Structure 1
Amino acid sequence: MMGPVLAACLLIILSTAWISQANEALCKKDGGVCSCNNNKNSVDCSYKKLTAIPSNIPADTKKLDLNYNKLRELEPTAFHGLNKLTFLSLGNNQLQTLPPGVFDHLVALGTLNLNNNQLKSLPPKIFDSLTKLKELNLDNNKLQSLPEGVFDKLTQLKTLQMTSNQLRNVPHGAFDSLSNIKTLWLNDNPWDCSCKDILYLRDWIDDNKDKVTGAQDAACGDQQSKAVLDITEKDAASDCVSPNTTTAIPTSTTTPASVIYDDIHEIKVPQENFQKFLGYQEPDHLPTQPQCLMSISGYLGLMMSLMLTSAAILYVFHFLKKA
């Protein structure tokens, strides 16, 4: 019976080795994409020209740095296997949207950096699972509005940065759940001080001057010399319509035939649909050399593991048959 026992042990060793190899493929010096500090459970994938999140990030990773890449979008399940993450940085990329649920499994996350992207909006409840979040950086995006209750679950949040966006107001009660907030940046947004909606923000800043960094710098978009903090009810007398609401239907105009003819030559076929149909990708989306090497390494490792595992199984059957 010694043979089958040894074979079973061999199977376990091979499986463990293969899993270890798959994890190391991410960080190997000879072609790996990222650098890893296993002692600190840290993975640094910054400055790698990545267009997608590497799929083999170790499950016990606590710190993941994806700064300064070429990420334009995220898969909804990009971080679903990383529930031990406490730090995630996606700053200085090209993100335009966030898929709903992309952060739902990051229940231990304490810091989330989304600064210096091109986000125009946030999905409702995008941060609802991040109940341990303490730092959130949304600086230097193109946010035009915030969803109702987007910060309601962030009761542990201490730092919130929203400078240099396109925010004109915030939903009523937007900051009411931030009971532990210590620092909030709001400057360099075109706050609309002519609408009554701004009065909630004015009152919140007034009640939390010690927490709002540069409270006087949160200025009205049309009156840069006047701070939101100094707005009166008379200044904000208008009932403004939400920017997402259509208030008027443009009247049609007659376009000269010559213009229509000239524009025919400017019509562009949706290349993205063609590319998806033909299986073609833009050069910017092609995998980098390290990514290719990583994929090849992983594939060869998988093949080797399968061959060794098959041999071990045959070894077991051989001894069982003899027994």
Structure 2
Amino acid sequence: MDPLFCLVAALLFVESHSCPEACSCFVKKSYGRHIVDCSYQDLQVVPVGLPSNATTLSLSVNQITFLREESFIEVADLQGLWLSYNEISTVRKGTFAFLVQLRAIDLSHNQVADFPWGDLYNLTALQQLKLSNNHLEKVPSEAFHMLKELRSLWLDNNRLTVLSEGTFNSMPALALLQINNNPWNCSCKSWWLKRWLEGTLVSIPEKESITCASPVNLKGLVLGRALTLDCMPPSVQLVYHSSLDNTVLHDGLTLLLDCSVVGKPPPEIRWKIQTSSQNIAINGQNVEEERHNLLADGTSTQTRERIMVFSNGSMAVSKFSKADEGVYTCQAINEVGFREVSVKVALDSSENPAEGLLQNNIQASKPRVNNCDKEELLKSDGKLVFIYLTPVGPKTSNSGGTVWEPWSWSNLFLVFLLAQYS
């Protein structure tokens, strides 16, 4: 073999496993770890020239202020990364994303306000994440969705006020959680968290330090079993009405659905309509006039929007036709939870309109349950209701006037699948 080639190869090998001057590099053979210790060196940046075979890197107790996407490009096989007690305020997106073998990150005792949460999607082997003593104000609801192996999570001593419901649900291996010493908002936004803390088997040290910072009347109280929050998940009832009566049929059939909701805080009402040709979402009212005026004056519907949602949550669809057949869903949403009730509407011109309804899974209309006490859950009673409406049609009398008589039952009917909650 060419001696020059051997010399170059040897030099490259030495260079690839070199150790920065400020660091100590050694191997723990019993654990198969290649450790690079750069702690306590007054470093202001991540040093270059890190050995590519490093599995553990300690940069703790330095003066590092920022992390770039390329900061750890030389050590892609890292399993442990220790960065505590620095002055890190900036962590660029992509800093950790390619370190797919990471099992532990310690970024505690820094000044991080904006963590690159998306980087965690790639770190499926992560078992420990320490972010305590930083400036974090929020955590995305999906931040930990890919961390199935995570066992320990530290979020204490930050600036968190609320967490989205289900934040911890996707971590089946989670055994230790620290969220104490945050300025928690103990409004109904934290109702789910209170319930979760009461029922979880995850170890949560310093529970007495998980206290309320707001509202004022709850400041300093522990977010636990002894704290009472005046909150209630939404309850929804969907009721049918019609503009038809026994004597007069206005210009076109008007379908009216009343969505009655209760909850604390008062729920927001949203409607969804799914037909064969379109999906419609209406958040809140889209007309000012009350619905009783609509029923009192059928001709006025000609100049209005055909689909109207009123301030009381009612929905009206004027001149209902085959194109309007489909699923009508009323949703109620507040800070505590979410409920919805769906109704299917079909005209008798449809092929076997009732058959599909009977096969429908009524569970789809039942409430999405939050973490709350069993005695506080609102019981549901699904009911299958068929409503046959007999509109009246014009008929000319012998005297030349117009009278109204019922059409046959088979000409028109509406079928509803109602799930009511009481």
Aligned position for 1:117: 110
SS of aligned partner of 2:120: coil
User: Do 1:82 and 1:105's aligned partners in 2 also have CA atoms closer than 8 Å?
Assistant: no
TM (norm. structure 1) is 0.65
Q: Give the 3 Å change call, closer, same or farther, for CA 144–238 of structure 1 in structure 2.
A: farther
CA displacement at 1:167 relative to structure 2: 0.5
Q: SS at 1:205's partner residue?
A: helix
Moved more, 215-224 or 72-81: 215-224
Q: Post-superposition shift, 1:86?
A: 1.1
Partner of 2:25: 36
Residue 47 of structure 1 corresponds to: 40
Distance 1:119 1:35, change over 3 A: same
Q: What is the one-letter code of the residue matched to 2:48?
A: S
Comparing 200-209 with 226-235, greater Cα deviation is found at 226-235
Letter paired with 1:33: A
CA RMSD of aligned residues (A): 2.1
Deviations 1:229-257 (A, max 9, x none): 23434179569xxxxxxxxxxxxxxxxxx
Residue equivalent to 2:199:
207
CA shift, 1:209, in A, is 5.0
Structure 2 match to 1:12? 6
Matched residue, 1:297: none
Contact 2:64/2:88 (8 A) holds in 1: yes
- Following TM superposition, by how much is the alpha carbon of 1:224 offset from its aligned partner in structure 2, in angstroms? 4.6
| Match in the other structure for 2:120 | 127
* Residue type of the alignment partner of 1:229: G
Q: Given the alignment, which residue of 53, 60, 76 partners 2:69?
A: 76
* Paired residues of 1:152 and 1:177 also in contact (CA < 8 A): yes
RCO higher in 1 or 2 (8 Å CA, sep ≥ 6)?
A: 1
Distance apart, 1:144 and its partner CA: 0.9
Aligned length: 227
Deviations 1:123-159 (A, max 9, x none): 3413111111111111111111112311111111111
| The 10-residue stretch of structure 1 (212-221 or 180-189) with the greater mean CA deviation from structure 2 | 212-221
Q: Is the 8 A contact 2:17 2:53 kept in 1?
A: no
CA distance in 1, matches of 2:119, 2:16: 31
2:213·2:220 contact (CA, 8 Å) conserved in 1?
no
For residues 174-212 of structure 1, give each alpha carbon's deviation from its aligned partner in whole angstroms, at most 9, with x where no partner exists. Answer: 111111111101110010002x22122112212215522
Structure 2 CA distance for aligned equivalents of residues 129 and 197 of structure 1 = 30
Counterpart CA distance in 1 for 2:265 and 2:208 is 23
50, 67, 78: which one aligns with 1:57: 50
3-state SS of the aligned residue for 1:128? helix
Query: What is aligned with 1:88?
Result: 81
**Alpha-carbon deviation of 1:22?**
5.8
Decide whether the 8 Å contact of 1:190 with 1:220 is kept in 2: yes
- Mapped to 1, the partners of 2:12 and 2:114 lie a distance apart of 42
1:221 aligns with 2:213: yes
SS state at 1:38 partner: strand
| 1-structure distance, mates of 2:196, 2:69 | 34
What TM-score do the two structures reach when normalised by structure 2? Answer: 0.51
Secondary structure at 1:221 match in 2: strand
Following superposition, the deviation at residue 84 of structure 1 comes to 1.8
Deviation at 1:162, TM superposition (A): 1.1
Tell me the distance in 1 between the aligned counterparts of 2:115 and 2:192: 21
**Sequence identity of aligned pairs in percent?**
26
User: Given the alignment of the two structures, is residue 24 of structure 1 paired with residue 18 of structure 2, yes or no?
Assistant: yes
One of 120, 140, 143 as aligned partner of 2:133: 140
Q: 1:67 corresponds to which residue?
A: 60
CA contact (8 A) 2:133 2:157 kept: yes
3-state SS, counterpart of residue 119 of structure 1: coil
Q: Displacement, 1:89?
A: 0.5
Answer yes or no: is the 8 Å Cα contact 2:66–2:91 preserved in 1. yes
Match of 2:230 in 1: 234
Q: Is the 8 A contact 1:35 1:43 kept in 2?
A: yes
Matches of 1:200 and 1:36 in 2, distance apart?
A: 47
Identify the range of structure 1 (77-86 vs 89-98) with the bigger mean alpha-carbon deviation: 77-86
Alignment-mate amino acid for residue 230 of structure 2: K
Q: What is the one-letter code of the residue matched to 1:37?
A: F
Q: Please tell me the residue identity of whatever aligns with 2:228.
A: T
Three-state SS of the structure 2 residue aligned to 1:48 is coil
Asked if 2 retains the 8 angstrom alpha-carbon contact of 1:125 and 1:149, the reply is: no
Point out where structure 1 has 5 or more consecutive residues left out of the alignment: 27-31, 240-323
What is the rounded CA distance, in whole Å, between the counterparts of 2:27 and 2:179 in structure 1?
Answer: 38
Q: 1:193 is aligned with what amino acid?
A: C
1:215 CA drift (Å): 2.6
Q: Which amino acid aligns with 1:76?
A: E
Residue 206 of structure 1 aligns to which amino acid in structure 2? E
Question: 1: CA distance between counterparts of 2:219 and 2:72?
Answer: 41
- Give the AA of the match of 1:165: N
Q: Which has the larger strand fraction?
A: 2
Q: Whose Rg is larger? A: 2
Aligned residue for 1:253? none
CA separation of 1:220/1:77 partners in 2, compared to 1, >3 Å: closer, same or farther?
A: same
Distance 2:69 2:158 in 1: 24
